[in-house]
Structure 1
Amino acid sequence: QILGMALVTIFFAMLGMLSPASRGALMTAMIFLYVIMGTVAGYFSSRLYRTIRGKEWKKQAFLVMP
């Protein structure tokens, strides 16, 4: 999750969409991407949990998300 957030942030910075000069935009993008990656992590984590026949997959998905 953190690695994905860092890679996407660096990718956007390389494209010129995020400038290190505007620190607020960089931090906002990092927090936004952290939340988005957390949602994706919760989804894939619950899918994996269901394949091993877990009973409380909804609870597990919400525990993984930030």
Structure 2
Amino acid sequence: MFMGLSRTIYGILGHRLNLKVFIAASAALGVATYLVAALFPVILLVGVVALRQLMHATRRDTAQH
């Protein structure tokens, strides 16, 4: 999707953009997108575990008072 979007942007604004910089930025965004998609389950799992720990700590603190 982003590759198609970058081609559209370059097609419209290509006369104002540096091709090498634009390709490098598009490639970096593509890699970042794939990494987020690949690591999202891990990030989600870490977030859920951290949230459960926080909720457990909060319940423990309120039970003591």
Structure with the largest fraction of helix: 2
TM-score (norm 2): 0.48
TM-score (norm 1): 0.47
* Structure (1 or 2) with the larger CA radius of gyration: 2
